[in-house]
Structure 1
Amino acid sequence: MLKLAAEIRDHLENKILPFWMKLKDEENGGFFGKVDEELIVHKEEDKGGIATARFLWTFSAAYRVTGNKDYLLHAEHLYLFLRDKLYDRKHKGIYWLVNYKGEPKDTRKHVYAQSFAIYALSEYYRVTESKEVLELALEIYQLIEEKGFNRTNNAYLEEFDRCWNPQANEMLSENGVIAEITMNTHIHVLEAYTNLYKVYPSKKLKEVLQNLLHVHYQKIYDKNTKFLGVFFDKGWNSLVPVKSFGHDIEASWLMDETVKTLGINNSAYNEMILDIAYNISDYAIQSDGSLINEQIEDNYDMTRVWWVQAEAMVGFLNAYQHTNDPKFELLIDSLWEYIKNNIVDKRDNGEWFWSVEADGTPTRRDIGEPWKTSYHNGRFCLEYMERMSGE
């Protein structure tokens, strides 16, 4: 796999990161908020809290792995925008959206967005060791635990107004329901707290992470079907019979990262992590090597979404490293070929398409926007570079 790792590194450094680096807004801070399907940059588009955090994580991690100081300069630029424009000094927490000048626009607070801020800040701290950065990460962590955790049902809440009054979870609900609990928020709280633990290994944080793993195993994971539930009511009852293939394979390796970070030896967790990977490889991989999006009852969404492919690359590598099963090696090779031939935008200034339709044509959708950044595919590349560096 060394050849594959070298190819992926080249792809990261010469395709993915240069595309996003061109969006640096020198006048107003952060990155420009939109690149449309024609690759036109919209300099007066809104800038997202989640997007900024994801960019900050990417460029911090890219510097940590490669040592390229240009990436650190971009990370610093993004950190200042997050700190000075996206963080609500009065009521605490990260805004959902600001305008292109950095003025508050959508001031709702979402636990999902706060989690990405922690994920990014803890990664930036790994390369700067700045006390200020760690203090901000810990402040948001305490905020989530104080405002965003329901001890009665052992679940993280979702959406709040600017002043941290709970409100309907509009931003992370789909399929005609308003979910009081989502798998998506829980896996990203787990992801964020795990990264925070790497720089702040407190006893309390370890206990919180252990509880989160327990929740994933007991409440979200279905031991019979090997799938994760997606949307729940406040009693942890599933609201929609949906299978989200990308989230499942992503969760498998994120949970394993937590297990490894905490040094946990739990056979039930290990079995769950591998069962999810095998299940997705058997159930949702197509003959062309790609992974389809989701299933609701008997209806399949055959779209090949960019982030789903990226997370599958990491999830299958993680499974291969645990099992040495050549099945996963073959899956990785065929999926990477699919990505290169279909998901990667081959235009000179392109990056990855949002998705490819069932008929093989790229979806007509923005290339960069509040949900699509450098995070998923950038992280896939960085994971391969780190995991295979010793081979």
Structure 2
Amino acid sequence: MDKLFLEIKQHLANKILPFWMKLKDEENGGFYGEVGYDLEVNKVADKGGIATARFLWTFSSAYRVTKDKKYLECAEHLYVFMRDYLIDPDYKGMYWLVDYKGQPKDTRKHIYAQSFALYALSEYYRITKNEEALTLAFDIFQLIEEKGYDASNGAYREEFDRNWNEQSNEMLSENGVIAEITMNTHIHILEAYTNFYKAYPTDVLKQRLTDLIEIHYTKIYNEETKFLGVFFDKNWNELVNMKSFGHDIEASWLLDEAIKTIGLKNEKYDEMVLDIAYNIADYAMQEDGSLINEQVEDAYDYTRIWWVQAEAMVGYLNAWEHTKDPKFEVIIEKLWDYIKENIVDERANGEWYWSIEKDGKPTEKSVGEPWKTSYHNGRFCLEFIERMTRI
């Protein structure tokens, strides 16, 4: 896999990170909020809290891994914007959306968004030891626990208004249901807490991670089918028969990372991690090397979405590290070929398309916006660089 490793390392440095660095808003702070399908930058587009956090995580991590100071400069620029404009000075927590000048636009507080704020702040603290960033991270952690955690069912609540009054979960529900509990929020709390533990380990955080892993095993993961549930009511009853293939393979390696980070020894968790990876490999990987999106009841969505491919790359590298099963090595190589030939935008100044339709054509959707940033594909590259350097 030496050739693949070199290609991915170059792809991060020459394609992904330069594309996003050009969005640095020197006048108003942060990064510009939208790049259209035509690759035109919208300099007055709104700036998302999640997007800003994902950018901050990416460039902090890129600096930590490569030690290239231009990435540190981007991270510092993004941190200042988050601190000054996205963190609510009165009620704490991160806003959902601000306008291009940083003025509050959508002040709802979503636990999913808070998890990304924590993820980013902890990574920034790892590279700077900035005590202010650590204080903000602790504030976010305490909010997630005090406002988000429901001790009656072991779940994390979803959506709140600016004053932290619970609201209907509009932002992370779909398929005709309003979910009181989502798998998506839980895997990203797990992700954030894992990174926070790497930055500043405490016994309290270790216990919360231990509890989260058990909740994933007992409530979200189905030991019989090997799939994860997606949307639940407050009693953990599934609301729709849905399989989200990208989230499952992402959860596989995020769970494993949490398990390794806190040194948890439990065979049932290790089996879950690998059973998820094998299940998605057998059920949803395609002959062309790609991973399709999802299944609702008997209907399959064959769209090849950018983040699904990126997370599959990490998930199968993680599975290969555990098993050395050549099946996973073949998946990685075929998927990388698919990404290069289809998902990567070879237009001048392009990055990755949002997705490829069933007919093989790129989806004509913005390639940079509040949900599409440098995080998934940037992280895939960074994970490969770190992990393959250790091999």
User: Could you say which TM-score interval applies, normalised by the shorter chain?
Assistant: over 0.9
- 1:31 match: secondary structure: coil
Deviation at 1:6, TM superposition (A): 1.2
Provide, for residues 60-80 of structure 1, a one-character-per-residue CA deviation record: whole Å limited to 9, x for no partner. 000000010000000000000
Deviation at 1:2, TM superposition (A): 2.3
The aligned residue for residue 304 of structure 2 is 304
- 1:333 match: secondary structure: helix
1:200-211 map, 5 Å:
200-211=200-211
The aligned residue for residue 351 of structure 2 is 351
Give the aligned residue type for 2:287. S
Say whether 1:292 aligns with 2:292: yes
Give the aligned residue type for 1:61. S
Say whether 1:268 aligns with 2:263: no
- 2:237 match: secondary structure: coil
Deviation at 1:263, TM superposition (A): 0.6
Distance 2:45 2:153 in 1: 39
Deviation at 1:390, TM superposition (A): 2.9
Distance 2:264 2:2 in 1: 29
1:172-191 map, 5 Å:
172-191=172-191
The aligned residue for residue 152 of structure 1 is 152
Distance 1:143 1:292 in 2: 36
Mark the runs of 5 or more structure 2 residues left unpaired by the alignment.
Answer: none
Deviation at 1:199, TM superposition (A): 1.6
The aligned residue for residue 224 of structure 1 is 224
The aligned residue for residue 126 of structure 1 is 126
- Say which is worse superposed, 199-208 or 14-23, in terms of deviation: 199-208
Deviation at 1:213, TM superposition (A): 0.3
The aligned residue for residue 371 of structure 1 is 371
Provide, for residues 154-182 of structure 1, a one-character-per-residue CA deviation record: whole Å limited to 9, x for no partner. 10000000000000000000000000000
Deviation at 1:3, TM superposition (A): 2.0
Distance 2:202 2:264 in 1: 15
1:1-391 map, 5 Å:
1-391=1-391
Give the aligned residue type for 1:96. W
Deviation at 1:56, TM superposition (A): 0.2
- 1:105 match: secondary structure: strand
Distance 2:114 2:334 in 1: 36
TM-score by length of 2: 1.00
Distance 1:138 1:9 in 2: 33
Give the aligned residue type for 2:139. E
Mark the runs of 5 or more structure 1 residues left unpaired by the alignment.
Answer: none
Provide, for residues 325-357 of structure 1, a one-character-per-residue CA deviation record: whole Å limited to 9, x for no partner. 000000000000000000000011000000000
Give the aligned residue type for 1:312. A
- Say which is worse superposed, 16-25 or 199-208, in terms of deviation: 199-208
Percent identity of equivalent pairs: 71
Distance 2:277 2:390 in 1: 24
Distance 1:248 1:240 in 2: 16
Distance 2:87 2:136 in 1: 9
Deviation at 1:237, TM superposition (A): 0.2
Please, what is the CA RMSD of the aligned residues? 0.5
Give the aligned residue type for 1:95. Y
Give the aligned residue type for 1:102. G
Give the aligned residue type for 2:53. A
Give the aligned residue type for 2:240. V
Deviation at 1:265, TM superposition (A): 1.1
